[in-house]
Amino acid sequence: MSKNILICGVGGQGTVLAAKVLSQAAVSGGQKVLSAETIGMAQRGGSVVSHVRIGSDVYSPVIPRGCADVIIAFEAAEAVRNISYLKTGGTVIVSNEVVQPVTASLSGKFFDSKVMIDYLKQNAAVMCVDVKKACMELGSSRVANMVLVGAACKSGIMELSEVKDAVRLLVKPEFYELNVRAVDYCAALDI
């Protein structure tokens, strides 16, 4: 049985590392994994979407629209932009923050995260994570990606222990403990 995970955000948020951690966790668990990324025009601030497909019946790295079991959204606007990938009965794990694109800032128009999250809740099961609060409590804004990966584990898409093993393989040893605390953060929350 396959699992399809779409990870979306903007450049600089750690979406690519999150995809690598989930992919490595599945590979270490003996599963077949295919993945792909699309990265927007701007290295920092452009849209980033990663597809992680797990299972022996997966033949393409790109998730077809309507087939993602989980969308992990690093910000609400990207979740709305990518909602068409979610299958019926799927889950959206979303940060409650919005990263305003440069074009919105220049035009004076701003996204409202509450409006976007309300829209998501009308169309899917949603786990909304206060990533800013989590990062403040953890003492680093650089682990937002692992907070959201931990929330994904809470959804049942991946085993927490496999993710922690993948973090050990993929992050520098001096950052391992902080990243594991970030993965564990959502396990203790009622979200």
- Give DSSP secondary structure letters for 8-37: EEETTSSHHHHHHHHHHHHHHTT--EEEEE
Indicate if the pLDDT at residue 42 is higher than 60: no
What is residue 113's predicted lDDT score, i.e. its pLDDT?
84
> What pLDDT digit, counting tens, does each position of 51-104 carry?
999 999 999 999 999 999 999 999 898 999 999 999 999 999 999 887 766 656
108-134 mean pLDDT: 90
SS3 58: coil
User: Residue 94 has which token pair?
Assistant: 């979303």
**Per-residue b/e over 7-27, b at no fewer than 16 CB within 10 Å?**
bbbbbebbbbbbbbbbbbbbe
What is residue 127's predicted lDDT score, i.e. its pLDDT?
95
For residues 66 and 109, which has the higher predicted lDDT (pLDDT)? 66
138-153 mean pLDDT: 95
107-116 mean pLDDT: 80
Indicate if the pLDDT at residue 122 is higher than 80: yes
Residue 45 confidence class, pLDDT cut points 50, 70, 90: low
Indicate if the pLDDT at residue 190 is higher than 90: no
> What pLDDT digit, counting tens, does each position of 13-27 carry?
889 999 999 999 999
What is residue 100's predicted lDDT score, i.e. its pLDDT?
67
Q: Give the separation between CA 53 and CA 63, rounded to whole angstroms.
A: 7
Look at the alpha carbons of 175, 73, 68, 103 in this order and tell me if their dihedral is positive or negative.
Answer: negative
Residue 6 confidence class, pLDDT cut points 50, 70, 90: very high
Describe the crossing of helices 131-138 and 144-154 by its angle, rounded to 10 degrees. Answer: 110
